Structures are given as structure tokens and as C-alpha cells.
Amino acid sequence: MKKRFFFVVMVLLLTVPLVGFGQNASAAGFIDVPNRAAKEVNYLAEGGIANGSSATIFGADKTVTRMEAAAFIGRALQLDGTQRVTNFKDVSSGSFASGYIQSAVEKGILSGYDGGRFLPYNEVSRGEMAVMLSKAFNYNFGGTLSGAANALTSRGIASGLEDGSFGADQIIKRADFAVFLARAISPEFRTKTFSSFTKTLWANVGDLNIRSGPSTSYASVGKLAKDTKIIGAHDIAGWTYIKSGSTTGFVSTYYLRNTEEQTTTTPDNPIHGADSRLSGQTIILDPGHGGTDPGAIGNGLKEKDVVLKTGLQVNDLLKQTPFNVKMTRSTDTFIPLKTRSTFAKDNGGDVFVSIHVNAASASASGTETYYYAAGNPYVADSKLLATKIQKRMLAAWNLKDRGVKPGDLSVLRENNMPAALAELGFISNAGDAAKMKSDYSMKIMSKAIYYGILDYYDAKGYEVSPLYDVAK
């Protein structure tokens, strides 16, 4: 992460019982947060959505600007926050919020003003924030301030003021925003029950974490067994708020389905224009580690979880193509190294891609890909596969290029097919790990590996151009 500010997005001044008003709570180590907002600030801090101006100061009484609102919305929804050129002449590409502003505008959550201006330093009012939040969380509000206010109050997210009005013109403070945003994300904080469990869902995999918030930064509050039936409510950034028995929380939407029977998604007919020979090609995906072997650990993450998520996403993309695709593991299971290469050979693999993350000192960063060179009849193809995947991964995360390298690694050495081992980044580096925690960044990396495999087949003379559209 380039620069850390603590941004605040849409906050409606919430009228709640102020027990102990005037006293401050030690929310996430902050000494300036009032008791009424402590739980909500802790919640947002746990998910990396809210931070302070220092380790002890949250800035609870400061107002929220439009660029801070964009950044908080972006963090909550896991939008692309990469700093870049925007549509606005008053927002430079170097602004900490430039990526979030552009992403929020593209999704219709925010808009600018005449003359190509965004007015990033303007303070945000309660009414403006109500509209922003209603758009961000897909609440029906009729396009009016009163409708947006009603969308929030009816859900127990906000209340009116003591005079009975909503106070749409009043400016929002950070502490009030924290309460507001936390309630929008998790019904656990709301002032009234608002039942929206309308979807029947099933778990696709076993040992599936139910988390207190919509990211892997949040603690697990329970587990789901494979094929467990649950009920779901709203979705946030690739996570679904669910209920299973007496347990509520967020589950990655990727691991849920809406039919009782799990079915294969491999197409019966090849994609129009794709090479007919591809149906005879089998791709082996190998998420490293698993089960009792967590792999590298750092910044609140385990390698086995990161690479399994990546592998399942690549698998999902490949299943929409004529390729055959097999995974050495699709659940949190320990698979010995030699069993992985044996599995690849027994399943007639034509290409083998192993997925890992690195660990070293906190300063080490970057992406690298390995192939086996010693006595390997597929050395040229293995290097080609590794090179194509490495190029795509670099474009996806823009980390340091650590190169394509020969490596004497078991899963490569013991294979009898073109094989590559991808190291996405360093779990021990805070910046690299932040990408591993982001659903958005993980999807971008999974697409990169998918594209890298297609690039390899393209270089080998196969017609794969129609398959690139699968990941769009």
C-alpha cells in the first residue's frame, strides 16, 4: 500500500442511546472514540476498512470529504483502489483516493460536477451520504434524498434527529460514519431486525469458514460442511451474509451454489471458434499445501487458503472452456508431494500448474515462476508455460518481477508434462499480503493465470482467442 490515510465514507449522524456520553472507548487502540461507536470502529478496523491518523487517534470528530467517502466505499466494497488517471481535472493520478473515486464513478455510486470536477475536498452531508450508501449497497430509494433516508432508517441503519427530521444538510463526522457503515455491512449492529434471508443456498466445499465480516481479515465464527443447506441475505464484494442454525456471518459467495445438486459446468459443446483439439487437453491445477500443512503464514493469512482460493477460481474459468481440468485438491486437504505428480500423470495431464505464495523477510516482495530444467524432455514447453504465466501475473498485481527460474521442486521434477510453479507474491510482505486479502485482487490474479495458460496454448498454435472472453 502506498500511503495510508484513514478515510471515511458515508455517514449519517445516527441518533442512538449515548450511554457514557463524553467518555471515550479504547476502540482498536484509539483513545478518541466515544463509547457509542467503539464496537463499530473496532469492526471496521478489523476488516481494514477504517484506520486512524495514528495508532491512537481515529479522528472521531473530523468531518468526511468526498474523496474520503470514495475511499471508504471502495474499501468496504473491495473496489480497485489502484492509483490512476480519473475522469476529473481536480483529482490527480497521484491522489490516494484516485483509484477508488474512478471505480465508484464507474459503478454509478458517485458522480462529478459540471466542468469535469469531482470536488474531492468538499464535506459530505447526511443526505449525500444516504444516497451514496443506498447506491453502494443496492437499496431501492427512488433516486431521492427522502427515499435514501428511508432506505437506511427502515433497515435500522440510521435514525432521524431529535426534531424529527433526517438532517439531510448536516455534515457527517467520522465516528458517526463508523456506526453507520458498520450497520450497513453487518445487521448485527443494526437498531432493528430487518429480515432479508430470501435465498436458499448450499456449500460447495467442506470446512468452509463463516466470518464475522466480508473478507478474510475477519475472524471465523463457524464452519460449514460440504452440501450444507443455508439461507442467504445480501451480498457484499463477493461475500454473502448467511444464516446456518443459530450462526450468522459472511461466506465467500464463490463457494456457494443455489441448487441442491452440484453439477459440472463443463460445456457440452465447444465455444464457437475455439480449436477442436482443446477438448483433448487436460489441465492439472495444483494448489499447494493444505490440511495439516498450512504452508507459509504471515499477515493473518495462510498459504494453503490463498492458493486454494486461487486454484478454485482458475478451475471455474477453465470449466467454461473445452479444456478438461482436474485439481490435485479442491478442499482443505493434505496431499503429499509425490501424490500430486502421480495424480497429474494418472489423469493424463497435458499441462501442470502449481500455485504457491512466498515468504521471507518483511521487505521481500514480488512475483516469480519456476520450471524444471535438468533432464526434462519438456523443458522448452515448461519454460514457455512459466514465462506466459509470469507475464500475466506481473500485469495483474504489478509487483516486482523476480523472474522465470529453473527450480528443482518435486511437483515439477517428478512430472512428465510441461509444468510450472507460480509464486504469486510474499505473504510475509504487508503490501503483497494486502492483495491476497482482497477479493478483487485475487480475482484479477486468477484471471491472470487463466490467461497465461491460454497464452501458452496460443504460442503452441492452438486457436484460443474466443476463450479470453470467458474471464471478462
Q: How far is it, in rounded angstroms, from Cα 274 to Cα 360?
A: 42
The SS3 assignment for 255 reads helix
Task: Provide φ and ψ at 375, rounded to 5°.
Answer: 65, 30
Instruction: Write out the three cell numbers for 133.
Output: 450508501
User: Are residues 436 and 302 in contact, defined by beta-carbon separation less than 8 angstroms?
Assistant: no
Name the strand (E) or helix (H) holding 356: strand 351-358
Task: Check 106, 368, 423, 463 and give the catalytic one.
Answer: 423
423 is catalytic: yes
* Cα separation values, 337 from 111, 286, 312, 461, Å: 52, 10, 19, 32
Instruction: Write out the three cell numbers for 63.
Output: 468531518
User: Are residues 309 and 285 in contact, defined by beta-carbon separation less than 8 angstroms?
Assistant: no
Which residues contact residue 422 at a Cβ distance below 8 angstroms, ignoring those fewer than 6 apart?
353, 354, 355, 356, 367, 369, 386, 389, 390, 393, 449
Instruction: Write out the three cell numbers for 30.
Output: 484509539
Q: How far is it, in rounded angstroms, from Cα 180 to Cα 189?
A: 9
Tell me the catalytic residues.
423
